[in-house]
Structure 1
Amino acid sequence: MNAHLEGAPVGPHLINGIPAHVLFVHVVVVLVPLTALCLILCAAWPSAMRRFGIALPILALVSLVSVPLTTQAGEWLERHVDSNALVRKHTELGDQLLPWAVALFVLATAVWWTYRRAAARTPEAVESTGRAVATVHLPLRVAAATLSLVIGVGAGIQVYRIGDSGAKAAWHDAYSVNPQQERD
């Protein structure tokens, strides 16, 4: 792994000669929506939260860490490509993802912690299999599910907007609708 720092905070900028942003972005594109989906499921269905357990906040933490890492690598890349309105728009949108990732992490941790506390108390119900099930009061579950849905959908939309603008910035005027042999 090659790191070119040029006054930027420590972090990889090139990996095997390829801009790290181009590789890191795939982590964000997969993990942020996956975290949002898992959070929505866990907030809405206690059985999903019981299965996920600590994996939910860990997934949210990895998603959160991947955002500034990708953004930092993107800022390095921005200084090494021609600047135009498409690149500036992509950069601007990319800078707006961190608050969504923070919200996903905070809410995922809160949902996990709430269910964990409920499980530590006296179980209020028993599954058909005989396993004790801790329950969280319905109004709290509805609030968590609603907030998870809002934050999850918002984060997903923001990831889409960033990816769309990045694809436009990278690919505008870089391809032809006609195959190579027809252009010759």
Structure 2
Amino acid sequence: MSLINGLPAHVLLVHFVVVFVPLTALALVACAIWPAVAQRIGIALPLFALVTFASVPLTTNAGEWLEGHVDSNALVRRHTELGDGLLPWAAGLFVLAVAVWWVARRNAAAGTSRSARRSLAPARIAAVLLSLVVATGAVVDVYRIGDSGAKAAWHDGFSKTASGDGGDH
């Protein structure tokens, strides 16, 4: 995918990633910490994480096309390098979303049995800790990629002073 309605697809698709990765990260952490939230959200958590995961390679592929159609410089190359690192974080969000959903289902099936809850406690603790790490890493990576992309797109692309057209808008 290269163009959408005459615009580079990357500049449109990137908005999905910028919104979906943090939302998936937030939902994952909420579901990992609060099993009632995970049970209420259910299968929507891993499905949303799958959409997030799928949006990353679409966006990076469109970005690679765009990279070949703009002047190359250090800022563009840095953005491209950072962008290539997001897929493992998105995969981690997806895998953990499936795991948290599965643990929530097992908890619901176990009912209120104390021994059943105790046997699932290590899996739940691991899910919470891993979710916090992966969610934080994914959100920080999206921020770093977005910041580098904005710098690559806007450096020398505007004047720091008003254009002086004198018109009131």
Please give the TM-score of this superposition, normalised by the length of structure 2. 0.91
Please give the TM-score of this superposition, normalised by the length of structure 1. 0.84
Q: What number of residue pairs does the alignment pair up?
A: 163
CA contact (8 A) 1:115 1:135 kept: no
Q: Which of 6, 14, 20 is residue 25 of structure 1 equivalent to?
A: 14
Aligned to 1:124: 112
Aligned to 1:153: 136
Taking a change above 3 Å as real, the CA distance of residues 135 and 181 of structure 1, as seen in their structure-2 partners, is farther
Distance (Å, rounded) in 1 between the aligned partners of 2:86 and 2:73 = 21
Q: Which of 158, 167, 172 is residue 155 of structure 2 equivalent to?
A: 172
CA contact (8 A) 2:14 2:59 kept: yes
Shift of residue 176 of structure 1?
0.8
Distance (Å, rounded) in 1 between the aligned partners of 2:134 and 2:49 = 13
Distance (Å, rounded) in 1 between the aligned partners of 2:117 and 2:147 = 41
Q: Which moved more, 1:141-150 or 1:166-175?
A: 141-150
Q: Mapping of 1:45-60 within 5 angstroms?
A: 45-60=34-49
Distance (Å, rounded) in 1 between the aligned partners of 2:58 and 2:95 = 19
Q: Mapping of 1:31-180 within 5 angstroms?
A: 31-121=20-110, 123-124=111-112, 135=117, 137-180=120-163
RMSD: 1.6
CA contact (8 A) 2:39 2:108 kept: no
Gaps of 5+ in 2: none
Higher helix share: 2
CA contact (8 A) 1:119 1:135 kept: no
- What per-residue deviation string (whole Å, max 9, x for no partner) do you get for residues 120-177 of structure 1? 33x116xxxxxxxx95733322221111000000000000000000000000000111
Runs of at least 4 residues off by over 6 Å: none
Gaps of 5+ in 1: 1-11, 126-133
Q: Which amino acid aligns with 2:79?
A: H
Question: What's the secondary structure of 2:164's corresponding residue?
Answer: helix
